[in-house]
Amino acid sequence: MKNRNYIICLSGALALLFSCSNDDKNYDPGTTTDPVENNEANTTYAPAFEGQTRIQGLQTNTEYEKKVITSELSSPWGIKMLPDGRLLVTEKAGNMRIVKVTGEMSAAITGLPAVNATNQGGLLGLCLDPQFATNKMIYWVFAESGSGGNRTAVAKGKLSNDEKTIEGATVIYRANPAHPSTLHYGGRILFDKAGNLVISTGERSVIETRPLAQSVSAALGKVIRITKDGQPASGNPTFSQTGALPELYSIGHRNPQGLALHPSTDEIWVSEHGPRGGDEINRIKAGANYGWPTITYGIEYEGQPIGDAIQKMEGMEQPVYYWDPVVSPSGMTFYKGDRVPEWENNLFIGALSGKHIVRLAIENNRVIGEERLLAQENQRFRDITQGNDGALYAVTDEGRLYKIDKK
C-alpha cells in the first residue's frame, strides 16, 4: 500500500510540475510506474546524479495503436517522410525505396554509390533538403570501401522526376582515417536550424582506432557539422589542440546511431551504443568532449574494465541518461504535437537488442520517466521518425514498417 500511495503522490507531483512548464500547456506525461528496467546491471558504478539511469516508469494513458504498413523491407536503416506523405527508406544492402502508407513499395532507386554492407556497414541514415519540395535533394550516410579500408561517407543527389534514380550522386565528405574494420560507423544525418548538415561517426570499434574518439585530428567518434557541399560549417567550435579538424562539433563518442533536434531548443541530441552496459543519451554542446573511451558506464564485452574504470572526469560531459544493461539505442526523434498529449517533446528511440521503442519524458534536460512501447512485437527497432501527419513511423531490422498514432 505504501508503494501505491507513493506512486499516486509522485504522479500528482509530476502533473503539477508539467502544468507549470515553459510553454504553459497542461502536460501530464502519464501514469507513474515502477522503473521499466529490473534486470541485474553489469557493473556497480554509481550514477553521477539522481535519475541518470533506471528512472521511474511511465504509462501512456491516451489510447494509441500500431499498424504494420509492410513487412517486405530488407534490413531498413533510415526513414523520412516525403512532403506528400510517402516514406523514403534506406535498406542496408544499398537500396533506397519509396513506400506508401498503404504498403505499396517502389522498386529500388538506382544511381547510388556502392556500399560496403559487411557487418555493421551499408546504406545508413538519410535526410531531406529543407527545400526538398522544389529541389528534390537527398543526403545520406554510407559505409564506403577505399584506399586503406572503410570510411563513414556522406553523399548527396537529386531524386529524378520519375523517382527511379538519384541524379548526380556525389560524395561530399569522408570521415578519416580509413580502417579495415566493418564496425561502428555511426551513420545518422540531419539538418540543423542554420541549414547545415550534422553527421554522427563511430570510432570503428577496434582497439587501435578507439583512442581516436579523443583525437581532434581524426573524424572518428565525432559529431561533424558541414555545409551542403561538405565544407566545415561556419560557427563550428575551435578546438585548441594541434591539427584540429574544422568540421568537428563534438568529440568522444563511441557508436552514435541516433540524432535528433529538440523541437523547442533546436539543440542536437545523440544516442550512442555503449559496450557491455553504458548506452547513452547525450545533449550536444559545441566543442564538448563526451568522454569515450576515457570515461564510461560500461565494461568490455568479456567483462574486463575499460581503461581506468572511471565514470567522471573534469572537462568531460556526463550523459543525460544511460542504460545498464544495454538496450542498443539507434535512430530517434522528438515528438511534437498533441495527438498523444503525454508525448509532447518526448524522445522516442529505436532499441535493437532491447526490442522495443524507448519513450523518454524530459524536463529541463533531465529524464523524468521512461516507457517501453511495442515490446510485444519482438522486433529490433532501427529508426523512428515523425511524419508531417503527426504519427510516428518506425522500421525494424526484420523488415517491418510501423505506423504508431492516436487510436
Q: Taking the CA atoms of 186, 191, 193 and 198 in sequence, report the sign of the dihedral they define.
A: positive
How far apart CA 329 and CA 278 sit, in angstroms, is 11
From the candidates 184, 253, 273, 356, give the one annotated as an active-site residue: 184
CA angle 382, 383, 389 (to 5 degrees): 150
Q: Do you find a cis peptide bond into 293, omega within 30 degrees of 0? A: yes
- 150: enclosing H helix or E strand: strand 149-159
377: nearest Cα among 363, 392, 361, 396? 396
Look-up of cell digits 510517402: 86
DSSP bridge partners of 70: 401
Contact in structure between 349 and 373 (CB atoms under 8 Å): no
Could you write out the DSSP letters of every residue in 193-254?
Answer: TTS-EEEE----SSTTTGGGGG-TTS-SSEEEEE-TTSSBPTT-----STT--TTEEEE--S
Report CA-CA distances (Å) from 248 to 149, 245, 406.
Answer: 22, 6, 40
How far apart CA 347 and CA 318 sit, in angstroms, is 18
Return the SS3 of 368. Answer: strand
Catalytic annotation present for 179:
no
Catalytic residues, by residue number, are 184
